Structure formats: structure tokens, C-alpha cells
Structure 1
Amino acid sequence: VQTTTPIVLYRRVYYIEETTPKLIHFTVSKDGDGVSGGAVAGIVIGTLSLIIIVLGVLWWQGYLRRGDSMELELNGLELNTGSFTLKQIKTATNNFDVANKIGEGGFGSVYKGVLPDGTLIAVKQLSSKSKQGNREFLNELGVISALQHPHLVKLYGCCIEGNQLLLAYEYMENNSLALALFGPKEWQLELDWPTRYRICIGIAKGLAFLHEESRLKIVHRDIKATNVLLDKNLNAKISDFGLAKLDEEDNTHISTRVAGTYGYMAPEYALRGYLTDKADVYSYGIVLLEIVSGTGNIADREKENNFVNNMKLDVAK
């Protein structure tokens, strides 16, 4: 049995003939004016070409190949760290239970987890919508995996599976220095002067290692109280190396795109992109003032009420 169904396209009538093998044939009626069969074929080919071009652009931009490109970039890194499966991370964090969520930042969320041997970890999860987070993930993994120091947060391993990019760090029981000093009341800690002094020395030792003692000379670029973590004994450890830059010994400075946190940036870096390890030293000085005063650098961003402006006013008086 053969049936025909009329279809009107561009004012021309087409008939679809259905035969026993269910093959579709097109026959063009001779009535009326309209486009030729060649024109229809051209439209189809043009549409397919457009789709291919769009997919190619998406692929080139990285939207369709994040996992593949990430694996290629990781192959170029010398990683001195372990690896976890997504199943292991989900088990450790109880499937990223909101009750285990201990932080949120531009990079993504941070969850507390427990490994089978009882080791506590902090899992930093890349935001799937953040292209900047993609770059910071690779940068942080490449830098911190090569560094070991008592005053740098320890990286246990990473997980790259599907669309998940995860970093597993040692868990810091007392969270960040920022919360301890001027966070919500329930997070603040009573830090006596000997403890504050020890925290200052710990940060300085971590920076000295990055700038002078490590095989890789690193400029952190984002030293602030939020990125200083405190362990159960209130030892300070520098964290968050997503913006870190390699400082080659032959260079007097690095000219780079400005990144970091305003209020902590050295003027020559914030205004001209002129980066040296002294930019970290300036940021460290701001953190010292926060530790001594117990007050955040920028209390009111709209009024730009910060230490530097206040000191200028004091000097003027």
C-alpha cells in the first residue's frame, strides 16, 4: 500500500510517498511557482553548515570540551599530590550535604569531609559556571601541589571527573583568621597577644618560604585575613593560591593583569600592574594592622573607611 501526504513549503506542494521498506521519497508537483529542488537542498545544506559552525565555536570556546581540555592541561603539570574518585569525595562529604558546607567563595563551595581513616578534609568545589574558577583551579593545583611547608595549607589530592573539579585540603578546625578576628560573634575567638604574635610570625614564615626558600619563587597576590587559616592549635597557614604568580629570578618585576582584593593591594600593583614579592609584603602589613586592631581593613566600602585612609588623616593632623 502506498500513500501520499501533501506538504506545502515556500508555496510549492511536495508529496511524501511511503513505500513498504518505509523509505521516504520526495516528488515535486509541477503546479505553481516556487523554489527549485536545488534551492531546497541549498537551504538544508546551509542550515547544517551553520549548526556545525556554531558547534565549532562552542567547542573552541571550551563550552563543549571542558573535561577534555582540563585533562590535557593537567598532563602538562608536574603534580605531587594524590587523587580521589568522585565516589570517594561524595562518601566523605555525605554527597555534599548542606550540613557539611563550611564556606562559599568566588571559586565555589567548601565542604567538610571525613576519609575512611578518619582524616578530616576540606573539599573545595569548583563552580561549574565559573570560567575564572577553571583557571584558578589549574593554577592552584599546579602551585600548591609542588609546595610543602608548615605554614602553607596542605593539599591531599584532587578529583577531576565529569564536570566536577575538586581539591581536598587538610581541614582547619578554626576556619579563617578573618572570622576569628571580626566575623560573626559565634565565630570570633579570644586571641591573646602571644597568640596574635605567633600568628603574625607564622604568616611571615609562610611568605618567606614562597618568596625566598622554595624552589619555585611565588607571589601569592591575595594575602588577606580570609586567606589565612587557623588549625586546632591556632597555627596560621596561608591558603588559596588561585591567583599566585611564578616570579622568575631574572625578572625585576612582573607586568600582569591586576587581580586580588582592593584594600590589600600595593599601590604600584593596583594602579600599574607592577608586581613583585613586595606586593605580598604590603598586603601582609595590612593583615598585621587587622590583627593588632581586631578590625577589618575596609569596614565601610561605600565610605572607603580603611586603615590607609585613616593613617593619612592621622599624619595630616
Structure 2
Amino acid sequence: MAYCCIGWDNITGVHRLMLSKKPQTQSKRWTKLETGFRSSLEDLPVEILLFVSVNIGVDEAEKRTLLHELEETITSPGKYSKSSDKIDKMSQVHFFSLENIAMATNNFSTANKLGEGGFGPVYKGVLPGGQEIAIKRLSRNSGQGLTEFKNEILLIAKLQHTNLVRLLGCCIQGQEKVLVYEYMPNKSLDFFLFDHSKRELLNWTNRTNIIKGVAQGLVYLHEYSRLKVIHRDLKASNILLDLDLNPKISDFGMARIFGVKETEANTKRIVGT
């Protein structure tokens, strides 16, 4: 009979350690360990073993289902440039060419730069049809391979909530990796909190609305989204505001994109924008 020990992490998925193959030079200690492990497995209730196997299968199946759904909604750079100048925000994930991104940002002009965070600078861009977008030019130290990076982009683009900044698409060309988001005209909450003139616009009604919106966005990410994303870096500069000062959480999927375990703490550098 063969036995295996099953482990799981959110980045690489299922790991199986087969225990049927023993070292050629067996020791009494190994024999005792193997015997004890087999006895423990045999003593476990069937319900527990079924629960573990079923949940692992559900997680894998859920991810495959999401990817399959999203593969049907991808728009390539060529198709985008020929069909429309605007993005359908609710139905498609767009892959832009680097040429289109450069044109939208005036070749990543400093005049278009909105800010810079731990994952790279953010620029304002304008598509040919006039639609404003926010473009995050990622630093080149992503821990993901190309396929894994693209898969995480597709999965995160599936997360849709009124209090989350919408990921519209991306550009992957050579060493360049760029994320395209909906544009928030009122920038981030910190611009209001630390500016005496703008702070007056945050009356108690607006403040209460912002608090509620952020809470609802986090509940969706942690409890109701199909990916169960942990933000890891929620702060005023990651809470963006639309024209009506409604809050939208940004950078909620950057840990997944960069191949960082979401349960690991990292206090040595700022993560996000």
C-alpha cells in the first residue's frame, strides 16, 4: 500500500510527499516512523480524510474553472486596437501592446506620473477614445514565471466589487509587465487627510461612507470572493476615491502577482502604492 502526505500553499498549490519508497538502507527508526504514520492514517475517521481530499479538489477545480471562464473573455492587443477605443469594464480582460501603453502615457512621461510604490510607478493614461486609465509599471523582480503571472492576472481581474479598483487588463512584453486599472480622479485618501484645504471636504457623512465602503471591500476579499484574497498592505494611500468620494481599495492582489505568500509578514519594505 502507498501513502502520501498532502500539503498546500496558495502560490504553488498541492504538494505530495510519497512515503511508499523507503531509503535503500533501512533503519529501525525509519521502520518505526513509517509504522506509526500508517497507524495514524488508519485510525483517522473516514470523514476527516474525505474532508481533506474533497477540499483540495474543490480549490483546484475552482481555480481551473475561473481560468477557463476568463480565457473566453480575453481580448488580444490586435483585437482591441481594431475593434474599439474603450474598454468594456465588466466583461473583458484586455492584453495591451506596449506601444498602446506608451501612447496612452506619452511614453511614461513624468507629467503623467501619479505616484510610486513598492511595486513600481503609477501613471495616468488616456486611450484614443478618451477613456482615462491608471497604469502601474511593475518593477522587474516578480517572483512569478510568465504563465503563472498571466494566470494570476486573469484570476484577480475576476474580483469585482463596488469598493475594489477594477483591474482592466495588462501588458506583458519582453521584460515589461504593466497593469491597467480604472482611473480614480480624486486620487487616494491620504491626499485628503494630510492636506488642510482638502480635509474640509471630508465631513462626517463622507468619512462614515468611506469607512463602510472599505469594510465592505475587505469582507468581500476575505469572505465572499472566490479567491479569498488577503490584502496585506491596507493604508490611506491604497484607498482611492472616485468623483463622489466613494472608496475603492487598490493593490489587493499584488502579493499573488509577485508570488509572495499572503500569510507571510514583510516589515522590511513597503508593499503596494
TM-score (normalizing by structure 1): 0.50
Which structure has the bigger radius of gyration?
1
Equivalence for 2:202: 191
Note the 1:1-317 alignment, pairs <5 A.
78=67, 79=70, 81-128=93-140, 130-131=141-142, 141-182=153-194, 190-240=201-251, 241-243=253-255, 256-259=263-266
SS of the counterpart of 1:102?
strand
SS of the counterpart of 2:99?
helix
SS of the counterpart of 1:243?
helix
Amino acid at match of 1:117: G
Amino acid at match of 1:233: D
**1:140 touches 1:243 (CA, 8 Å); kept in 2?**
no
* 1:180 CA displacement: 1.6
**1:124 touches 1:168 (CA, 8 Å); kept in 2?**
yes
TM-score (normalizing by structure 2): 0.57
Identity %: 50
**1:155 touches 1:167 (CA, 8 Å); kept in 2?**
yes
**2:122 touches 2:137 (CA, 8 Å); kept in 1?**
yes
Amino acid at match of 1:242: M
Distance 2:245 2:130 in 1: 21
Distance 2:200 2:170 in 1: 31
The change in CA–CA distance for 1:144 and 1:202 in structure 2 (over 3 A counts) is: same
- When the two structures are aligned, how many residues end up with a matched partner? 180
* 1:133 CA displacement: 9.2
**2:104 touches 2:126 (CA, 8 Å); kept in 1?**
yes
RMSD of the TM alignment (CA)? 3.5
Amino acid at match of 1:124: K
**1:109 touches 1:125 (CA, 8 Å); kept in 2?**
yes
Distance 1:119 1:222 in 2: 29
* 1:179 CA displacement: 1.9
For structure 2, the residue ranges without an aligned partner over 5 or more in a row are 1-65, 74-92
For structure 1, the residue ranges without an aligned partner over 5 or more in a row are 1-76, 246-253, 264-317
Distance 2:104 2:269 in 1: 36
